[in-house]
Amino acid sequence: MPLDPVAYLPYKDPDDFIREVTDLIWVDRSIHYIRENYEPDSIVHGGLGTSSNRDEVIEGSLMRISATPDRTGQAEDVIWEARGDDAFLSSHLVLSGHLQTSEFSRTIANCLYRRGRMVEEWVVRDTLAGPLARGEDLDEVASAQTFRGFSGSWNEPAPADPIAKGDSGERPDEYRAEVEKVIDLIKTVWNDRDLQKVEKFFERDLVLLTVGNRLVIRPEGYRRALLRFLESFPGGQFEIRDIQTNYDVRYAGLRVAVVWKFVGDYNGVPNYGPLTGKPVDVLGISQFTFHNGALVKEVRLWDDIALRAQIQGQRGDEPVAFANIY
């Protein structure tokens, strides 16, 4: 079913819509446009929890823009997929930094737009990159934040068949073979811990871009990066919450985006300070790129500073009162 232009007008398609609207707000500083772009009761799930108020998006955006006035972002990828005939779900990978700098970071925002208005968003920022580059104490940075907790759809059971329907609603059954390969990767390598099987899914010359601006290469690098995360939560599991696919030569062909939830007890290696033995709830997004039926690249992000804030709150560390969800 073709997508009704009401979903993205006055722009030419959802890709153009996402790139131009983001630039209008974040580069041209038209913060007021959020009132036109978001529904009043729009829902945003981020690393620190859930917001269900458009005013929080406006206030949070203003503070982020003011705090980094020389920072500019631009689209690195836009993976969009229809949700019915008047809506689409976009997975927008944003590369941000100064115009000439070696310090940069990435954000992925998955936005559900219906008739040109944002109704629900899942957003993850690589908040680890900046503090690492500046040599800051990560626990001190995290102590300035408060984990609010999640609500709404994020607390509902994971979709039984994410190929057919995710948190954002029913999806078209496109590129099934590639989607099934990504699901199999998450089940086999991520959840069942059969790390030897990385070569079954990826080409040898793979690239993984992940938090802290880390660039990982080769299957063994991929294995070590996954182990580094899992060692703190050794019994944890990944849930698939949403999927979308898109083919566009502008972004190197076929890509598959996955919103995932990781839940596991913090009872392993104490990479985030003293152990709590309590479960963490991590919102993450991965974007996978295919070439000739094999995976060649993944961008995997979650908010690692928010994860530290969540763990600190479980230990009873003194948090600040305000949490900028956006």
pLDDT of residue 128: 97
Asked whether the predicted pLDDT for residue 270 surpasses 70, the reply is yes
Q: What is the pLDDT of residue 10?
A: 96
Pairing relation of β-strands 169-170 and 165-166? antiparallel
The confidence score (pLDDT) of residue 101 equals 74
- pLDDT category at 309 given cuts 50, 70, 90 is very high
Whether domain 152-315 has CATH 3.40.640.10: the reply is no
How long a stretch of residues is the chain?
326
Instruction: Decide: 39 and 118 in contact? Cβ < 8 Å.
Output: yes
* pLDDT interval class at 321 (50, 70, 90): low
Token pair for 288: 């996978």
User: Cα–Cα distances in Å, from 235 out to 27, 84, 191?
Assistant: 42, 37, 9
For range 105-109, the mean pLDDT:
97
- Cβ atoms within 10 A of the Cβ of 157, count? 6
> What is d(CA 71, CA 64) in angstroms, rounded to the nearest whole number?
10
Q: Fold match between 5-138 and 152-315?
A: yes
pLDDT reported for residue 99: 85
At 15, give phi and psi (nearest 5°): -65, -50
Pick the CATH number of 5-138 from 3.30.365.10, 3.40.50.300, 1.10.760.10, 3.10.450.50: 3.10.450.50
Cα-Cα-Cα-Cα dihedral of 93, 6, 161, 43, to 10°? 60
Task: Please give the model's pTM, rounded to 2 decimal places.
Answer: 0.95
pLDDT above 70 as % of the chain: 97
Range 303-312 burial, b when 16+ CB lie within 10 A, else e: bbbbbbbbbb
Stretch 122-151: mean pLDDT, rounded?
A: 95
- Tens-digit pLDDT profile for residues 161-182: 999 999 999 999 999 999 999 9
Q: What is the mean pLDDT of residues 206-217?
A: 98
- Token pair in block for residue 242: 């949403």
Closest C-alpha to 16, from 7, 29, 4, 28: 7
- Under DSSP, is residue 222 helix (H, G, I), strand (E, B) or coil? helix
DSSP 159: P
Q: How confident is the model at residue 79 (pLDDT cuts 50, 70, 90)?
A: very high
Per-domain residue ranges for the chain? 5-138, 152-315
Q: Please write the tens of the pLDDT for every residue from 222-264.
A: 999 999 999 999 999 999 999 999 999 999 999 999 999 999 9
Which amino acid type is present at position 200? K
Q: What is the structure's pLDDT at 318?
A: 60
| Cα 7 to Cα 3, 110, 115, 168, distances in angstroms | 7, 16, 4, 15
Range with lowest mean pLDDT among 96-110, 123-137, 248-262, 308-322 = 308-322
Q: Mark out the alpha helices in the chain (DSSP H runs).
A: 14-26, 34-37, 54-67, 129-134, 138-143, 176-185, 198-201, 218-230, 304-315
